[in-house]
Structure 1
Amino acid sequence: MSLLRIRAGKSALEHIQSKGLSPSDISAVFGASGAAKWLAIYGLDRAIFSEWLVDAHQPINLFGTSVGAFKLAGACRQDSAKALDELAHAYIEQSYPNGFSADLIDIETQKLLDSVVDAAGLDEILSHPVFRYHCGTVLAKGWLAQSSVSQQKYAMALAFALNGFGRNIHTKIMQRVIFADARADGTLAGRDAYTSHRVVLNRDNLRAAITGSGSIPVVMHGVKDILGAPAGMHRDGGLLDYHPVPGNVWQGDGLVLYPHFYSEVTSGWFDKYFFWRKTPKALLDKVVLISPSESFLASTELGRIPDRRDFLRMQGDDPLRKRLWWDSAKRSLELGEAFLTLAKSGDIGSIVEPI
């Protein structure tokens, strides 16, 4: 059984087939939104950050939204393996025995954040010798910015309906905010139709930025007026950059490594409901997309990728959900081992597929 599927954009594919893939080739690493889905590749991320990329010496830009922002913060810790272990543990051990409320979800979210951004973590993330951390939020406008849940629901329903007219239809209700390492080279910036703001990260706004990046409308509180950012309500960056597309926000040399739970990249959160809308290949030209194979996912006890909706599917049976999620997380360590073996052997060129 093949454990991994590796796909690459045109330029990345040519590079791998002629020169292979080494840590020195990587200019950026992207992290997708997806909540519990991340557990399916936790072990892959752990191997990449704690073992493979330790041999990189060039600056590498990291950019993620929602859980992608959380995991990349963990990757910037001195002991990235421990940080990612603790993030996976905190995510799986969430519990909502008396139902869901924004206040309770906020408490659990702060526990997740504590696992990767404690007092020591602030300095480690902002001063990592190689990684330049970035995360994205959406600066909400109109009804989407309101605290009223009913107004947010209306805004989301309208945004869903209008999304059929094209990805750029939401420019009046969403702006992109990229919170960036002060040392970053500026290659991460908005490059599509959306207004984008760049805000320098510091010890006083890092936690708020990551919290905002994962603040799902309707079910979670937004984060208002983050220090240094444009005034307003910050919500989940995945609304706009669900699986952040490098061509929309990045323009640089080198390759973009993209550990992903899917073998496809879906641009915005609303786009996932429009199956015919595909990310243009040109926007993935330098991307190396690494994901679990379908056969591997089928071999897990859950039989698929973990999903946030499992909280509802298995509500009242936390032990079952946790057992299944722990199995997915532990099995994902096999993905990390498989990647390291491929990278060491130089055989990636023989299995890589075109995007």
Structure 2
Amino acid sequence: MTQPIPSFELLAGPAAYRHILKNGLEPQQLATIFGASGAAKWLTIYGLDRAIFESWLPKADKSLHLLGTSIGAWKLAAAGQSQPGWALNELAEGYILQSYEEGITKQIVHRELIAILDRFLQQPQVDDLLTQNRFHYHCGVARCHGALSGDTGWPLARGMASAFARNLRGRSGLNGQFERVIFTDARAQPDVRSLDGIATETQTLNRNNLRDAVIASGSIPYVMAAKTAISGAPSGVYRDGGLIDYHPVPSNFWAEPGLILYPHFYRWLLPGWYDKYLPSRRAKAQALNNVIMVVPTDAYVAQLPGGQIPDRKDFQRFKGNEAERQRRWRQVKDKSESLGAEFLAIAQSGDWLQVLRPL
């Protein structure tokens, strides 16, 4: 009998590909897990993340680093808890239930996002995330300078346009407008460096600043107000980490050794937000040497509502019809459970070759 075609693939960088061919893939072989920006796109792989964190990774006999930006930081703050299944579900349900019938203003967006955060990351969960031994949580934030320090109108628009133009000349052109700040677990601070020419530093997470760091990591310009005060960190204007590391590319700043698992909704990584309109900037295989991406197939995506991955633009697309947006997003979330089930089935069999592809 013909086996069904899997709905996901493992896309592995050169060293990771050789490793899996020789050794297979077990959770204790991993060192780090990355999470990308992408707002509602994350719902596409909710079930995959849940299966990985709730059922597969607990078999590891070592602790792992977690690093994300924007929604990637939010989901890893859920996944890194002692009850990852509960926390990921609360995040997903809260995200689906956002409502902007009153309009989309910074005040309303802030209200809705705090309501989401309160579902899965109140003080007991913050303490759990910082003290449990399975994971060491870190998140990326962009500290902004110049015109990007403003929060309204023309100055902010001018700063964003300037950053776009500077980025066209290369990522190092963002220096002077941005600094990469990685908020890290004090128990296991990772080796983080400026490998792509963008100034990079670390700040330590604690129970008083973790929520603010998570909020800052997802503070999209225009949509949300910037964070201007994070306990223990220098004063400044802190915004969405995806501005610098949209789909964080490890070789740009991550000097930790070992294999990196990267559940993702696309088959590619775009290094920064300003690279969204520059397909040529997609990370090449040599920049992803130790990376193992777990991604849904095109055939799987074609079965989603409208044949596409959910997007933040859906708030406008379904303006005046919140119920339809929520229905579609929940359908995507529920369907993603099948991705998780397939991942666990292949992990159980050890037959990774049926889904393994070189980057």
State if a TM-score over 0.5 links the two structures.
yes
The counterpart of 1:84, out of the listed 88, 93, 98, is 88
Residue correspondence of structure 1 range 155-304 to structure 2 within 5 A? 155-304=159-308
C-alpha distance in 1 between matches for 2:189 and 2:164: 35
Q: Does structure 2 retain, via aligned residues, the 8 Å contact 1:70–1:116?
A: no
Cα 1:144–1:322 shift into 2, 3 Å:
same
C-alpha distance in 1 between matches for 2:229 and 2:45: 33
For residues 264-301 of structure 1, the C-alpha deviation after alignment (integer angstroms, 9 at most, x for no partner) is: 01100011101122313222100000011110011122
Q: Does structure 1 retain, via aligned residues, the 8 Å contact 2:151–2:221?
A: no
CA deviation after TM superposition for structure 1 residue 330, in Å? 0.4
SS at match of 2:34: strand
The equivalent of 1:110 in structure 2 is 114
Q: Does structure 1 retain, via aligned residues, the 8 Å contact 2:171–2:198?
A: no
SS at match of 1:99: coil
Query: Identity, % of aligned pairs?
Result: 43
CA deviation after TM superposition for structure 1 residue 190, in Å? 3.8
C-alpha distance in 1 between matches for 2:54 and 2:194: 29
CA deviation after TM superposition for structure 1 residue 227, in Å? 1.4
For residues 186-223 of structure 1, the C-alpha deviation after alignment (integer angstroms, 9 at most, x for no partner) is: 23444321111111100110010000000001121000
Q: 1:308 aligned to 2:312?
A: yes
Amino acid at match of 1:300: L
CA deviation after TM superposition for structure 1 residue 96, in Å? 0.2
The equivalent of 1:42 in structure 2 is 46
Amino acid at match of 1:125: L
The counterpart of 2:60, out of the listed 52, 56, 67, is 56
C-alpha distance in 2 between matches for 1:135 and 1:295: 32
Number of equivalenced pairs? 355
Q: Which runs of 4+ in 1 moved over 6 A?
A: none
The counterpart of 2:27, out of the listed 23, 30, 33, is 23
C-alpha distance in 1 between matches for 2:189 and 2:108: 38
Amino acid at match of 1:333: E
Q: Does structure 2 retain, via aligned residues, the 8 Å contact 1:189–1:198?
A: no
Q: Does structure 1 retain, via aligned residues, the 8 Å contact 2:46–2:333?
A: yes
Q: Which runs of 5+ in 1 are unaligned?
A: none
Amino acid at match of 1:101: T
CA deviation after TM superposition for structure 1 residue 224, in Å? 0.5
SS at match of 1:121: helix
Amino acid at match of 2:224: M
For residues 96-141 of structure 1, the C-alpha deviation after alignment (integer angstroms, 9 at most, x for no partner) is: 0021100100011111211221121011110121100000100000
The counterpart of 1:331, out of the listed 327, 331, 335, is 335
For residues 285-336 of structure 1, the C-alpha deviation after alignment (integer angstroms, 9 at most, x for no partner) is: 0000001111001112231110000000010001110111000000011110
Q: Does structure 2 retain, via aligned residues, the 8 Å contact 1:62–1:72?
A: yes
Q: Does structure 2 retain, via aligned residues, the 8 Å contact 1:2–1:295?
A: no
C-alpha distance in 2 between matches for 1:213 and 1:135: 7
Amino acid at match of 2:90: E
Amino acid at match of 2:202: R
The equivalent of 1:72 in structure 2 is 76
SS at match of 1:70: helix
The equivalent of 1:140 in structure 2 is 144
Q: Answer with 252-261 or 311-320: which moved more.
A: 252-261
CA deviation after TM superposition for structure 1 residue 351, in Å? 2.6
C-alpha distance in 2 between matches for 1:145 and 1:215: 13
Q: Which runs of 5+ in 2 are unaligned?
A: none
SS at match of 1:224: coil
SS at match of 2:62: coil
Q: 1:5 aligned to 2:9?
A: yes
Amino acid at match of 1:258: Y
Amino acid at match of 1:59: S
CA deviation after TM superposition for structure 1 residue 263, in Å? 0.9
C-alpha distance in 2 between matches for 1:331 and 1:188: 36
The equivalent of 2:344 in structure 1 is 340
Q: Does structure 1 retain, via aligned residues, the 8 Å contact 2:151–2:225?
A: yes
Q: Does structure 2 retain, via aligned residues, the 8 Å contact 1:24–1:56?
A: yes
TM-score if structure 2 supplies the norm length?
0.96
Q: Does structure 2 retain, via aligned residues, the 8 Å contact 1:39–1:325?
A: yes
SS at match of 1:100: coil
